Structure 1
Amino acid sequence: MISLTSPLETWAHRVPVGWKLAALSGATLMLFSLQSIILQVAALTLALMLYLSAGSLFARSGLKTLRILWPFFAVIVIWHLIEGTPQKGLMIALRLANTVALANFVTMTSRLSDMIDVAAWLLTPFRHIGLKTRALEIAIALVIRFTPLLGRRGAQLIEAWRARSARHPSWRIALPMTVLALDDADHVAEALKARGGIH
């Protein structure tokens, strides 16, 4: 597993991680409060401009990692079409696209160690009352490190689909993707257990 941090240095790399995470939290709350599809599309346009502000190479790299999500968005929209609520499905898909795009931008421009430091600082009050927070800190690191791995797994599934079928990849890759994610999680759990677990 590798970090999602981009090797391309941008202006966003110099912004403190705490400020970026606070802005991400605020933007997420705002996006989920917006009830207009037009405003969600406008927000997605702003997210694209944010990527472009860091350079075309960075934007291409960042948007490439988000391609794996389109089957999940398609499932959401198709399901709501079947249910007779297409606008609701489109709204959910746009909200997810916006929030994931912004979260991806933050992780691409932040070192993993800095994000863990912020998480540890936020959990300080819990340590003062005797709670162990190490497991949560490791869980945050694992989620961030699993992201690019899952992206590669999805790309491999899409390539395998295209090698066997003339049709475009569909929602059917969601199930094998889930199985692969669970398998990887099981291997990580075994590795942690072999090293004495989390104390």
Structure 2
Amino acid sequence: MLTLYRPGIGWLHRAPAGPKAFALLAVVLVVSLLPSTWLSAAIGAAVAVACYLASGLGVGELGRQVVAVRWIIVVTFGFQVIFLPLESAVANTTRVVAAIVIAALLVLTTRVGDLLDAFERGLGIFRRFGLDPARVALVLAVAITTVPVLARLAAGVREAQRARGARLGVRAFVIPFLVVSLKHADDLGDALTARGVG
């Protein structure tokens, strides 16, 4: 399974996956619930910067994550600025981006195997209701890693097109992106089959 894990020795890398997931979720919720003001936009951005600095990954990695979601920024801001005042559009977009990049810290600082184990332990209490914790944990881990993985695949397609000098455009991007996305989905399916998930 393709992973975005970045090896490191920071405290966030050493933190257990379960408590780390809850802590990052709490931070994401707080950022998401901020009001739509200039101050909230500044706070959301500052929290994201502080999280990346504290994790040891640094602002360089934060920049890479922001670039990876640039189309989300464009679409989110573009639709909101049409219907909302500029302050609200900027604040809402900043909060969304801050929430995404903060949530990405989970997969950047935690191995997929550790995530699976943490989710499986956390969901163990539902076993008595017929829930299969291993299967649900696998689905959650795949869901968490899918968005950043697709963002990285999209960036790879763009870089390959630039290296070949290909004309950049929506149609020229969509077809190769769909091909690599389907290839990733196929590889993921093979990985899940190898784990006995039918």
Q: CA RMSD in A?
A: 3.2
Tell me: CA distance 1:76–1:170, structure 2 relative to 1, closer, same or farther (3 Å). Answer: farther
Deviations 1:50-93 (A, max 9, x none): 212344x6442343144110112101211233445544443332
**In the alignment, is the contact (CA less than 8 A) between 2:44 and 2:94 conserved in 1?**
no
Report if aligned partners of 2:135, 2:197 keep a CA contact under 8 Å in 1: yes
Q: Deviations over 1:86-135 (max 9, x none)?
A: 44443332122111111122322223222212211221122122222332
Is 1:71 the equivalent of 2:71? Answer: yes
Contact 2:52 2:62 in 1 (8 A): yes
State the shift of 1:144 in Å.
4.5
Cα distance between partner residues in 1 of 2:60 and 2:119: 29
Residue of structure 1 equivalent to 2:197: 198
1:35: which partner in 2? 35
Aligned equivalents of 1:58, 1:171: Cα separation in 2: 35
Partners of 1:31 and 1:70 lie apart in 2 by 19
Query: Using the alignment, how far apart are the partners of 1:196 and 1:106 within structure 2?
Result: 23
- Structure 2 residue 47 is the aligned partner of structure 1 residue 46: yes
Gapped regions of structure 1 (runs ≥ 5): none
1:11-34 C-alpha deviation (Å, 9 max, x unpaired): 222222222211122222222221
Q: Which residue of 1 aligns with 2:108?
A: 108
Partner of 2:153: 153
Give the structure 2 partner of residue 90 of structure 1. Answer: 90
For residue 164 of structure 1, what is the aligned residue in structure 2?
Answer: 166
Q: Which letter maps to 2:166?
A: R
Structure 2: gaps (5+ residues): none
Deviates more, 1:85-94 or 1:22-31: 85-94
Residue 25 of structure 1 corresponds to 25
SS at match of 2:69: helix
- Calculate percent identity across the aligned residue pairs: 25
SS at match of 1:135: helix
Q: How many Å apart are 1:191 and its aligned residue?
A: 5.5
C-alpha distance in structure 2 between counterparts of 1:174 and 1:85, whole Å: 32
